[in-house]
Structure 1
Amino acid sequence: MTQTSLTVNAPAASGGTIAPLTNVALFADMLTRLIERPAHLPGIGVFHGFSGYGKTWSARYGANKRRAFYLECGESWTKLKFLRSLLIEMGRKPRGTAADMMEEAISALAMTGRPLIVDEGDQIVKRGYIEAIRELHDQSGAPIALIGEEGLPDMIARASERTHNRVLVWQPAQPASVDDAHVLAQLFHADVEISAGLMAALVKASGGRPRRMVVNLYNIAAEAAVNGWGAVDEAAWGDRGFYTGQTPARRVG
Structure 2
Amino acid sequence: MTQTAQIHNLELVRIAVERLTIRTAGLPGLAALYGPAGYGKTTAANAVANETRAYFVQMRSAWTRKTLLEKVLIEMSIKPHGTIPAMLDQACTQLAASGRMLIIDEFDYCVRSDSMVELVRDLHEGGGAAPILLLGEELLPQKLKKWERFHSRVLSWIPAQPVSLTDAAALVPIYCPDVAVRGDLLERLVKLSGGSVRRVAVNLAAIAEAAAVEGWGAVDLGTWGDRPLYTGDAPRRGV
Same fold at TM > 0.5: yes
Q: Aligned partners of 1:194, 1:90: CA distance in 2, in Å?
A: 42
Q: What is the rounded CA distance, in whole Å, between the counterparts of 1:218 and 1:87 in structure 2?
A: 36
Q: Give the share of equivalent positions with the same residue, in percent.
A: 45
Contact 2:176 2:207 in 1 (8 A): no
- Does the 8 Å CA contact 1:10/1:19 hold for their aligned counterparts? no
Q: Which residue of 184, 201, 211 corresponds with 2:198?
A: 211
**Alignment RMSD (CA, Å):** 1.3
Residue 58 of structure 1 aligns to a residue whose secondary structure is helix
Report the equivalent of 1:175: 162
SS in 2 for 1:19: coil
Q: 1:226 aligns with which of 213, 218, 226?
A: 213
2:119 maps to what in 1? 132
Tell me the secondary structure at the aligned position of residue 45 of structure 1. Answer: strand
Shift in Å at residue 208 of structure 1?
2.2
Measured against aligned partners, the alpha-carbon deviations of 1:13-45 in whole angstroms (never above 9, x if no partner) come to xxxxx6311111001110110111001100000
1:121 corresponds in structure 2 to 107
1:61 aligns with 2:54: no
| CA distance in 1: counterparts of 2:67 and 2:177, whole angstroms | 43
| Aligned counterparts of 1:127 and 1:139: Cα–Cα separation in 2 | 20
TM-score by length of 2: 0.95
- Please state if 1:162 is matched with 2:137: no
The alpha carbon displacement at 1:190 in A equals 2.9
Q: How big is the shift at 1:82?
A: 0.8
**From 229, 236, 239, the counterpart of 1:242:** 229
Separation of aligned partners in 2, 1:241 and 1:37: 48
Alignment of structure 1 residues 182-197 onto 2, 5 Å: 182-197=169-184
Q: Aligned match of 2:20 in 28, 34, 37?
A: 34
Q: Which of 87, 98, 119 is residue 84 of structure 2 equivalent to?
A: 98
CA distance in 1: counterparts of 2:107 and 2:54, whole angstroms: 16
Correspondence 1:72 to 2:53: no
1:149 maps to 2:137: yes
Structure 1 stretch displaced more, 219-228 or 37-46: 219-228
Tell me, yes or no, if the aligned pair for 1:45 and 1:144 is still in contact at 8 Å: yes
Counterpart position of 1:6: none
Moved over 6 A (4+): none
How far residue 182 of structure 1 moved from its aligned partner, in angstroms, is 0.8
Runs of 5+ consecutive residues of structure 1 not aligned to the other structure:
1-8, 12-17
Corresponding residue for residue 48 of structure 1 = 34
Letter in 2 for 1:26: L
- Whether 1:112 and 2:98 are equivalent positions in the alignment is yes
Moved more, 225-234 or 239-248: 225-234
User: Does the 8 Å contact 2:163/2:196 carry over to 1?
Assistant: yes
* Offset at residue 127 of structure 1 (A): 3.6
Instruction: Summarize deviations over 1:55-81 as a string: whole Å, max 9, x none.
Output: 000110111111111111111001111
Unaligned runs of 5+ in 2: none
